[in-house]
Structure 1
């Protein structure tokens, strides 16, 4: 089920530009021209995230954000031509989750949207039971697909099985023997290099910095653990 994004901006060209990029990413889009229109649209639609301009007539983005936060906990990304730190701080203090300065790169905005939606889905319990979302990592166990920052990552069957095994045992250290015998389903005969090679490949595909991994940690002399 695709998420629905409410885009609020008094500039028609900006609204349409954001709408095009969101639709291309598979999202449903609801448009609003100002803060009052946004609150009405929010009441009439099941919205998952709001992209909200600050400088608008009738009801600006700051005041609209405050009103929305009285009843809703969904993520809000503010848009503004102002880049001063005080404006960013004000926006975040009134309840916004992120802040993007105009003129913005639409690709960067899409990345911010995906990031905020992942957190919202994870913490609100709205995720499908077959999907596991951990920070910027999403694993679909039914389709055996893995996504990092919303982008599909191709793992080999062995790599997926290793990742799945480590996640199933989150926080627990598994030895090379345990990993090998569970994944390959055969006796372990000094296959530590084989396991290490596959772990290295997985890290290169899912870690932001494979040399300083956030997910798969090495415990010297013992084995590996999924540390999230």
Structure 2
């Protein structure tokens, strides 16, 4: 059962999204404020949240931060009426996986949600080992879990696929455009700043000292490289 939580204070937009998600076989939960959205997330445990930035009470950034801490595997897409880079970057910093600028095409939003779902859905059955290993780091791709030593890393869906791509291409310099296409898709409408933000967040979770990274190296003028072990 695909549950989506829509946190949006404008009734018309919330209703419009509800219709489109129901047409695509989603169970829709609604909330008109960040506080109510957090309460409903705790009860309903949705797999995806669509979150407006401009909300009464606590804003979308704070709401995103709380949801990300409590639901590390939840997919979060933020909606903004502004096009400033700072809003996009702040949303990603607070834990969003993606963002869309109003007005937007609902078909594109559904497509992005479905793409995100493919990164999230986990089958709890028993599997044979299907591991990607690099030094102290390990990815169990069947369970979609990442580890540093014996400790499971709490990664967002985008951080997970980013780490997987790095490890699969260990020692290879990957440009920002390449990473953008591999993680967000060729139809992604946005700039490469989203790559930098997610690399920085991933470094904070896997590096001993994220300000002096030893695992994900910066390749100046190109992009990034996972240090080959």
Q: Which residue does the alignment assign to 2:77?
A: 77
Secondary structure in structure 1 of the residue aligned to 2:49: strand
Report the TM-score when normalising by structure 2: 0.53
Please tell me the root mean square deviation across aligned C-alpha atoms, in Å.
Answer: 2.0
What are structure 2's unaligned runs of at least 5 residues?
A: 127-185, 187-229
Q: Which residue does the alignment assign to 1:46?
A: 45
Distance 1:79 1:128 in 2: 35
Q: Which residue does the alignment assign to 1:115?
A: 115
Q: 1:85 to 1:43 in 2, by over 3 A?
A: same
Q: Which residue does the alignment assign to 1:95?
A: 95
- Matched residue pairs, number? 128
- Higher RCO structure, 1 or 2 (CA under 8 Å, sep 6+): 2
Q: Which residue does the alignment assign to 1:58?
A: 57
Report the alpha carbon displacement of residue 127 of structure 1 after superposing the two structures with TM. Answer: 7.3
Distance 1:103 1:97 in 2: 19
Q: Which residue does the alignment assign to 2:67?
A: 68
Secondary structure in structure 1 of the residue aligned to 2:12: helix
What are structure 1's unaligned runs of at least 5 residues?
A: 130-207, 209-228
Q: Which residue does the alignment assign to 1:6?
A: 5
Distance 2:109 2:39 in 1: 24
Report the alpha carbon displacement of residue 70 of structure 1 after superposing the two structures with TM. Answer: 1.6
Q: Which residue does the alignment assign to 1:179?
A: none
Q: 1:24 to 1:88 in 2, by over 3 A?
A: same
Distance 2:125 2:51 in 1: 27
Q: 1:128 to 1:20 in 2, by over 3 A?
A: farther
Distance 1:127 1:26 in 2: 22
Q: Which residue does the alignment assign to 1:33?
A: 32
Distance 1:47 1:13 in 2: 22
Q: 1:34 to 1:126 in 2, by over 3 A?
A: farther
Q: 1:127 to 1:118 in 2, by over 3 A?
A: farther
Q: 1:126 to 1:33 in 2, by over 3 A?
A: farther
Distance 2:84 2:78 in 1: 14
Q: Which residue does the alignment assign to 1:16?
A: 15
